[in-house]
Amino acid sequence: MLGIVFDLDGTLIDSTPDLLAAINAVLPRHNLPPSDRQENFSLAGNGLSSMFALTLERRVPSWGREKKEQLEAEMLSLYRAEPATYSVSFPGILSLLEAIHDQGIPIGIISNKHVVMTQRILDVHFPSITFFRVYGIDSGFEPKPDASSLLDFKASLGFSEELIYVGDTEIDYETARGVADRIYLATWGYRGSDALLAQGIDGSLLVRDTAQLACALDIRIS
């Protein structure tokens, strides 16, 4: 049996608009300059808390942990209330997932968000898809780039079966390397081809659009 695991943010959906809405609702309250899409992209990959911590570190490195945690709590409260208001799935992703699903291939999701939030986002953007496994930061496994959740997915398939991982950052690559049989990294995501190649990642792993990814996966989209 073949199984395919996807990263969520930057691979299936562009969550930047919702993230920025929450972040930029908080920063001005504390007289801090707003963030923007470019900064958001550059800090993505290790989860929202890490992204926001780095955003604050760039602005107020002298602030203590308690103050930064206060702002993080404000931001997380806003984002958890509205995690899928402005976000969009990338072009062709819904059709690709539907084609994979229709072929009976198990689909997994590994996100550094909480499971409930991840599932809410999936329900909004991909209501027709039943995901085989959805992993989040509170699933009982270490977050990416630790490969524990990916190993659990592989075990649920049977270790002898082929596992494919699709992400968009060097963190996804580190997560899947040595575990997945094949890895593909989407250049439409948060890094882009130049940044991924600069990390020493083999260019043959990069896919420029969902049509190329479907071809690599041998999935026919009707």
Residue length of the chain? 222
**Which of 12, 18, 9 has the alpha carbon at shortest distance from 111?**
9
**Within 13 Å of residue 35, how many CA atoms lie on the same side as its CB?**
30
126-142 confidence digits (pLDDT tens)? 999 999 999 999 999 99
Q: What is the pLDDT of residue 42?
A: 81
State the average pLDDT for the chain. 94
% pLDDT > 90, the chain: 89
Compute CA distances 65 → 60, 72, 133, whole Å: 11, 10, 35
Confidence check: pLDDT of 159 > 70 = no
36-91 confidence digits (pLDDT tens)? 988 988 887 667 888 899 999 999 999 999 999 999 999 999 999 999 999 999 99
% pLDDT > 70, the chain: 99
Is the domain covering 2-14+87-217 a CATH 3.40.50.1000 domain?
Answer: yes
Q: According to CATH, where is 1.10.150.240 located in the chain?
A: 16-81
Whether the Cβ atoms of residue 55 and residue 41 lie closer than 8 Å to each other: no
Using the 8-state DSSP alphabet, how is residue 30 labeled? G
Give the count of beta carbons closer than 10 Å to the beta carbon of residue 179: 16
**Which of 49, 43, 46, 54 has the alpha carbon at shortest distance from 73?**
49
104-121 confidence digits (pLDDT tens)? 999 999 999 999 999 999
Name the helix (H) or strand (E) containing 2. Answer: strand 2-7
Using the 8-state DSSP alphabet, how is residue 189 labeled? S
Structure tokens, 219: 């999935």
Structure tokens, 67: 């103050």
Domain 16-81 -> CATH class: mainly alpha
Q: What is the pLDDT of residue 160?
A: 73
Q: According to CATH, where is 3.40.50.1000 located in the chain?
A: 2-14+87-217
Q: What is the pLDDT of residue 45?
A: 67
